[in-house]
Structure 1
Amino acid sequence: MSTQTYLIDTNVIIHLEDNRTVEPAFSAFTSLAAKHKVDIFVHEAARDDVSRDKNAARQAISLSKLNKFQTLSKVRGLTIADLSRYFGPLPKHNDIVDATLLHALHIGAADFLVTQDRELHERARRHSAELGRRVLYVADAVHLLRTTFEPIEAPVRFIDEVHAHSIPLTDSIFDSLREDYAGFDMWWTEKCVKQRRLCWIIEDEGVAGLLIRKDETGTDTDATEKANKILKICTLKVRPERRGLKLGELLLKKVFWFAQKNKYDVIYITTYVGQTSLIDLLEYFGFRHTATKHDGERIYEKRMSGCIFIPEGDQNRFDIHRLNYPRFVIDQNTAAFGIPIKEGYHDILYPDLRQQAQLDLFGALGMGGGPRRPGNTIRKVYLCRAPSNLGPPGSILFFYKGKSQWPPSQAISAVGVLEDVRYARSTRELLQMTGGRSVYSEKDLEGWHASFESPVKVINYLLAAYVDPPIGLKRLKELNVISQHPPQSIFRISHSCLDDLLAHIDLGYKT
């Protein structure tokens, strides 16, 4: 995609350059444009208009402000009559300047025109809806720059995005990296610090988990698939004493959702054969070993766009979803279910969605802190005694949060993919079946009092996405997903309702 160009009206320049506090939107516009190397122009006609000012001192000041920006030249031979035919009557000189700016937009000399002049917006819309959409207020321009260039934040709490230089080399997260790579300190300084690479970190008495990412294209990548938009995981590291908290999976979830939201084609990582747990995790979620470098370093790639990858062999629907995670495919045979969940369990399973006020309250009570249990992970387990049966592996699950003190309340908030359903008839079985995924303590599990007469249903699933914004009870009734009364037990969602429901959820891809 070519670099965007913005043509700015003099009213924007005057606001930016006046001797007064600049409103956040105006400063954000120029800051974002500079950050992403977006060209900003003023039109030669606007410069000529300023030159007409009879106050020489004021004229000099205004021209000095314009000189900070590049100039877009006038079109040779363009007459007022031509402009009038395009943009209507031009009774005043200012109207002629406005029409000249619109003409530059119309012929493609600039992508967008930024102005606070309502009349100019109206003139553009009268010409055509297409031109009207390209004339922006400053706040609209800021939004466009952000949506175009700034990564869309994926909601994974407890992960912070920081620049590499903000992490001191003395942090113990780097100790084992130095052991594996003798030149690590130099690489970190030259490739990460000096290039201001962004990292995701999990803090827990220092940096407990670290992921360094890099944007690449098909012309400059080690990936075998030369796609247009590639995300490289340069480093994925969990501090040894913090392993067992599923922090690696938490970081991978961040990568998957980030890549899906921002429409990357491929994710890849390089590692060595000795990194068995990492390789197992990668392959579980669909990374494929595509090449090996001369020094034995292996390349693992995962495609995020295009057709769903359906592996060969007799694999069930869940495996297809898992290997294509976070994407899943819907067809006529796909079953879907709603699962009611109480607020307390919802907060445990989905700590990402807990309200900040709620978190602040927990912190004040001494209950805050980092991710001490794998509640933010992909692979999850839900316990209940709901009598209803669920469908086959690969069924789609919609978690409905019941009436709650904290929002969302009475709304579908999360989507999962069913792996299997098992029944625990003792606390021991419950401990065994939930091992590795449980967000509950042993005491919590004992409290279920699982027995042969009163077994506990253990639902294993993958968290596929959060529903943003959550779909409330009123809308769910309108879609016939829920009948008149809020659900108290697991309920089946018909295929026609499933289509309507998915149409209200932005997954970042077509199901």
Structure 2
Amino acid sequence: MELKSYDVLSVKQMKFTNLDLNDTFFDSLKEDYPGFSSWFTKKNEEKAFVVKYDKAIQAFLYMKIEDKDEDYSIFDTKLKPAKRLKVGTFKITKNGFYLGERFFRIILEHALINKVEEIYVTIFPKREEQKKLISFMEDFGFTLCTFNKDTNEKVFVRKMNTILCDEPSLNNYPYVDRNKDRKYYLLSIDALYHTKLIPDSIIREENPDEFTSDITAANAVQKIYIGNYRISPQPGDIIIYYRTKPAGDNRSARYATTITGFGIVSNTHRNIASFNEVEKIVSKRTVLTEEEIKQKLLKSRYGVNILKFYDLYSFKKRPIRHFLLENEILNDNDYPTKQITEKEFDLILKEARFDKEKIFI
């Protein structure tokens, strides 16, 4: 199975042999699965994704690929032959619930990387942490499909390469309906907040250790942008991240400003003048402090605009402002938060070496 490494948010690949099976984190798994300890020991050199906080494990995810010859007779209703990603062992502690969206993103990214047709998870609905994971599954398009005849675990399945419902919805994540009409916008994001908000778009000059899993907003797939932007995006429109030149960078903005990725708008709120109302809308999904939000409100006569969007993809090759100017996507007098055409968006994708058909289906 091909695995992806993550530079940020404390998510690390770790071999089973380097984990302590006696850690209390694994107690509930031993209780639910009598053979867990021997299974764990046999895995030895295989890898799982782990998050530790103050040396304590908060999250653990092990996945494997199953081919079309896999035997599913143990299920009440057998799954049809297909290449699948099995979420073999998955637990997040109560204290780590905010990591849920982050880990489902990791699961879906690995389904894409390994080109599977479906993902499935077997899970007991006993404990609070298990019920919370089921809730996340349903948010991300997993549906109850069958039961394990021996253990009575529920089996949830998520189909890949399909649009499951109307946009925008986490049910479709990370896919975009290519047949739907939509608009495209550059969104200028201050370098000070960019990577806290969209950690997978970290740039080489930044230190990954500064972006850890205790930044709640960073873990969320749905992001919140608060500002006084003059564009009017609607749910389903595409937002392209324009990371501004950071303070202290001596390079020209033409070379220090980058396009780092894109997302899909999920909701918008305009002219929100009350701090309490802003707080209700953004919950814990903003990287701004309470004081920073209040300062924005004080500076704005009509209140702030709030943009919610699902973070879809971070480019490996990052187009820079020079490219935008050379291709007349921007001119020198443009404010970089602006509407662009689909053709211009496609030019950006080409420069970023991103295959649009990967998620636009």
Cα distance in 1 for residues equivalent to 2:132 and 2:291: 29
How far 1:414 moved relative to its partner? 1.7
What residue number does 2:48 align with? 199
User: What amino acid is aligned across from residue 297 of structure 1 in structure 2?
Assistant: E
Q: Which moved more, 1:343-352 or 1:269-278?
A: 269-278
Matched, 1:268 2:83: no
CA–CA separation in structure 2 for the residues paired with 1:492 and 1:355: 25
Residue number among 462, 465, 472 corresponding to 2:313 in the alignment? 465
Cα deviation per residue 1:265-312 (whole Å; 9 max; x = unaligned)? Answer: 22211113443321221121111222122343111122233xx2344x
Q: CA deviation at 1:437?
A: 2.0
Contact kept in structure 2, 1:216 and 1:232, CA below 8 Å: yes
Q: 1:131 — aligned with what? A: none
C-alpha separation in 1, matches of 2:156 and 2:140 = 11
CA contact (8 A) 1:253 1:377 kept: no
Matched letter for residue 198 of structure 2: Y
Query: 1 CA distance for matches of 2:180 and 2:37?
Result: 54
Counterpart of 1:188 (choices 8, 21, 40) is 40
Q: Secondary structure at the match of 1:437?
A: coil
Within-5 A mapping of 1:416-427: 416-423=263-270, 424-427=272-275
CA deviation after TM superposition for structure 1 residue 468, in Å:
1.7
TM-score, normalised via structure 1 length? 0.61
* Aligned: 1:281 with 2:136: yes
CA contact (8 A) 2:5 2:12 kept: no
- Is 1:160–1:202's contact at 8 Å kept on the other side of the alignment? yes
- Amino acid paired to 1:284: D
Q: Which amino acid aligns with 2:134?
A: I
Correspondences of 1:6-45 after superposition (within 5 Å): none
Structure 1 residue 330: Cα displacement: 2.5
1:64-463 matches, cutoff 5 A:
150-153=2-5, 157-190=9-42, 192-193=43-44, 196-205=45-54, 206-220=56-70, 222=72, 224-228=79-83, 230-243=84-97, 246-274=98-126, 275-294=130-149, 295-305=151-161, 308-311=162-165, 315=166, 317-319=167-169, 322-331=170-179, 333-355=181-203, 358-359=206-207, 370-390=213-233, 392-404=234-246, 405=248, 409-423=256-270, 424-449=272-297, 453-463=301-311
Summarize the Cα distance change of 1:225–1:248 in structure 2 as closer, same or farther, 3 Å threshold: farther
For the aligned residue pairs, the C-alpha RMSD in angstroms reads 2.8
Q: Does 1:509 align with 2:358?
A: yes
Number of residue pairs the alignment of both structures matches: 342
Contact 1:288–1:302 (CA<8 Å) still a contact in 2? yes
Identity %: 21
Report the Cα distance in structure 2 between the residues aligned to 1:172 and 1:353, rounded to whole angstroms: 34
Q: 1:499 to 1:299 in 2, by over 3 A?
A: same
Q: Is the 8 A contact 2:184 2:339 kept in 1?
A: yes
* Secondary structure at 2:22 match in 1: coil
Amino acid at match of 2:47: L
Task: Quote how far apart the aligned CAs of 1:341 are.
Answer: 0.9
Contact 1:426 1:451 survives alignment (8 Å): no
CA distance in 2, matches of 1:476, 1:221: 52
> Aligned letter for 1:456?
V
1:328-356 Cα offsets, whole Å, 9 max, x none, are 12236121111011101202212334356
Cα deviation code 1:100-159 (max 9, x no counterpart): xxxxxxxxxxxxxxxxxxxxxxxxxxxxxxxxxxxxxxxxxxxxxxxxx75454665421
Q: Which has the higher helix share?
A: 1
The 2-side partners of 1:207 and 1:241 are apart by 10
Shift in CA distance, 453/225, structure 1 to aligned 2, threshold 3 Å: farther
Determine the C-alpha separation between the residues in 1 that align with 2:301 and 2:260. 32
Displacement of 1:445: 2.9
Deviation at 1:261, TM superposition (A): 2.7
Q: Give the Cα separation in 1 of the matches to 2:10 and 2:216.
A: 12
Partner of 1:91: none
Cα deviation digits, residues 70-124 of structure 1 (max 9, x gap): xxxxxxxxxxxxxxxxxxxxxxxxxxxxxxxxxxxxxxxxxxxxxxxxxxxxxxx
Contact 1:382–1:460 (8 Å) recurs in 2 = yes
CA distance, structure 1, for counterparts of residue 308 and residue 244 of structure 2: 21
Counterpart code for 1:454: Y
Report the Cα distance in structure 2 between the residues aligned to 1:443 and 1:181, rounded to whole angstroms.
48
CA contact (8 A) 2:239 2:262 kept: yes
Cα separation, 1, equivalents of 2:108 and 2:340: 27
Contact 2:8-2:211 at 8 Å conserved across structures: no
Gaps of 5+ in 1: 1-148
Contact 2:260 2:315 in 1 (8 A): yes
Task: Note if contact 1:156-1:254 (Cα within 8 Å) is conserved in structure 2.
Answer: no
